[in-house]
A and B are shown apart, each in its own frame.
Chain A
Amino acid sequence: MRRPARLGAAALLATALVTAPAGPAGLALALDHGNLDEGRPVRLEDPYAIASGEIALEAGPAFLARRGEGDLGAMAIAVQYGLLPNLQAELGSTFLSDPGAEAGEGRSGDVRLGALYNLNQETRLVPALGFRAGMTYPSGPGSRGLDVRLKTMVAKSAGRLGVHLNAAWERLDGTARGERDTRREAAIGVAWPAGAPRHTRTLLVGDLFVEQSAARGARRVTGVEAGFRHQLARRLVIDGAVGRELRGPDDRLSLFASTGVSLSF
């Protein structure tokens, strides 16, 4: 099986950790802790690239509790670079506690390359728009097929409440019989700077997501997740999240959780 439905959200969580962009706030006086990167802390992503010339490292473990199967641990690492204003490039991978397992857009050790382009800054009437393109190279053990993923992100705020909408389409190569060759997913959520204006170091975020299962005809996965990002130092942010797949195939995730750290220099 090329991409198991049972790991749906967990897979996304794990892979999200490696295909990340960055987000809102002024020029880079400090790490942009208001950033919503995919997987840092939840799948919801804002449309902004990291600052031109900025380098960011992100890493963090995740825990995936699978119904009817053993639990799975994941460790994701990623590096991002602001190639040009509004354009970032990314490289990353995810390693699973069971190297034979499949998660996300590939197997443990698959390499992911991606780019995010931000079209515009949100203004009073115009939402911010961003696009992401990425591919997963099958470098992991037993992995096969080059997957391609396209995504669009939209953000619009009301006061300090940021509302985000993400939609993605994925082309899966090397799938087994009975599995989808393409998949769609979407998430909608909000972000709120807790304590602003006086306190701007903590961002709370939550979303609802829906995605097609990997197996044709299988029930689509829907779930919910919530998390935080907290700026510990000028260029250091920690994050954490928990979530649950509410509906979907019988082997959907009963719980997934992650923590992580982002470092900018």
Chain B
Amino acid sequence: MSRQRTLHLRFGAAALAVALIGAASSLSAQWTRRDERFGPRGPWRGAVGRELPHFQREANGIDFGHAHLAETLLRTRDSEAVERARLEVLDFIFSWPRIKPDEAQIAPRFTRLAWEAQRAFDWAHLLHQSLYDLFAAGETMDKEAAYRSIMDDYLDKPEAITSHPLDHHGALWSFPESRSFKSAHPAFNSQIWAYHWLQGAAYDAQLRGGAAVQRGLLPRLIAHYHGYLRNPPQEWEFMPLMAETAPEFSRRFPEAAVVFDNLHMLHDNIDDVLSRPDLFPDSASRRRRILELLQLYLHRNHVPGDRRAEVHAPGQAGGGHGPDHGAGHPAGARPPSAADVLEGAPGRPAVHHPPHPGGAR
């Protein structure tokens, strides 16, 4: 074999090795385990479907909303297309679906882009559903003990969103991409916040009594929520917080309330990422950013040994578990609580604060 040929072979082998290493590195960045889990078991399971079927159908409709939005933003940022998607979500919600839709089939691209985030969403949505079921179930049950068991089971899993209060309208709303979705698609953004309003407020209605009482109260909250869907509350400058919409639930079950606030904030953060092709121009950069954000929210990164103190709510650095009031109330008009609506005072005066220096574009 000539020396030149040997050199060519060596060069080719080196190039192949580099290509293989590059491909392996690219693929390894996308390798993730599925780790699907069945929800917690208990006598309360399925109680909402049995006792409060209308509310269950509203909840089923909401499940479509986030998934369809994420999938739409991965396809287009065209305002008309996004608005069409918003109206499709409304159509779906007002179809009162009897069965929860399959989010992986609604949003296959998003599921493949960031399964880790979808897994965290799914696990937190299961917590939502489990607690609705618990509060709709028989009144003789020891609900405090059942709640403790459900929360412990939830937080024990690696995909759990933390119950540690985070600085939502400060650090977590001040990223370069923050507020992008709200700015670009204010109606859709407000519509999503309306889902979160109902998801929170429903708990305070549930805590007022057994299933019969809830059957009387929830339709009033749902009617109020439908008003938001028809006229999205664009005057809200920040997502509804559990302490505002469901103060009683937040007082009695602060860990769950914090998880839900964190869940909703993560939804907003990810919608912002998907709205900024200038900052995240390709799938790899979007995935990387979403996974960075996810790490801020995962419970395992906060307990034990907090590695994400930079996003703690002010005054909560010691590991408290109260609902979010750390950075004061967000500016602008704020959503009513469940009690406000049920007692006929649907609205709160605007709270005026200077805008946060970091976020607005």
Contacts and interface: CB of A to CB of B under 8 A. Distances in A.
A242 to B, nearest CB: 24
Interface in A24-40: 24-30, 33-34
Contacts of A118: 34
Contact of A27 (B33, B41, B101, B123): B123
A53 interface: yes
Contact of B31 (A53, A82, A123): A123
B104 A85 contact: no
B26 interface: yes
B122 A48 contact: no
Contacts of B38: 27-28, 51-54, 82
A28 to B, nearest CB: 4
Q: Which among A25, A124, A233 has the highest number of chain B CB atoms within 10 Å? A: A124
Contacts of A200: 101-102, 105-106
| Chief secondary structure at chain A's binding surface | loop
Contacts of A125: 26-27, 30
A28 B36 contact: yes
A97 interface: no
Interface stretch (B107-115, B295-303, B306-314): B107-115
A3 to B, nearest CB: 34
A201 B71 CA distance: 18
Q: Which among B49, B101, B118 has the highest number of chain A CB atoms within 10 Å? A: B101
B83 interface: no
B299 to A, nearest CB: 16
Contacts of B33: 85-86, 119-121
A201 B119 CA distance: 20
Contact of A26 (B26, B68, B104, B283): B104
B84 interface: no
B103 A25 contact: yes
Contact of A85 (B34, B106, B122): B34
Interface string B1-42: 000000000000000000000000011001111111111010
A24 B99 contact: no
B126 A29 contact: yes
Given A26-B118, A29-B39, A197-B68, A123 B102 contact: no
B87 to A, nearest CB: 12
A231 B99 contact: yes
A60 interface: no
A50 B37 CA distance: 8
Contacts of A82: 36, 38
Q: How large is the interface on B (under 10, 10 to 19, 20 to 34, 35 or more residues)?
A: 35 or more
B234 interface: no
Contact of B102 (A33, A50, A233): A33
A81 to B, nearest CB: 10
Interface string A124-167: 11101000000000000000000000000000010110000000
B88 interface: yes
Nearest to B123: A27
Contacts of A216: none
A24 B34 CA distance: 9
A233 B99 contact: yes
Contacts of A28: 36-39, 126
Given A30-B99, A124-B112, A25 B34 contact: no
B92 interface: yes
A76 B35 CA distance: 28
B174 interface: no
Given A121-B32, A234-B49, A160 B105 contact: yes
B36 A49 contact: yes
A52 B36 contact: yes
A265 to B, nearest CB: 9
Contact of B37 (A51, A122, A233): A51
Nearest to A118: B34
A177 interface: no
A218 interface: no
Contacts of A49: 34, 36
A245 B313 CA distance: 65
B265 to A, nearest CB: 20
B351 to A, nearest CB: 36
A30 B32 CA distance: 22
A118 B115 CA distance: 15
Nearest to B91: A198
A122 B111 CA distance: 9
A196 interface: yes
B308 to A, nearest CB: 23
12 contacts: A26-B104, A26-B118, A27-B122, A28-B37, A29-B122, A34-B105, A49-B36, A52-B37, A85-B33, A124-B30, A126-B30, A234-B100
Given A25-B104, A49-B36, A86-B34, 17 more contacts: A26-B102, A26-B122, A27-B36, A27-B122, A48-B34, A51-B36, A51-B37, A52-B35, A52-B37, A123-B31, A124-B287, A125-B30, A193-B102, A197-B71, A197-B107, A198-B92, A233-B99
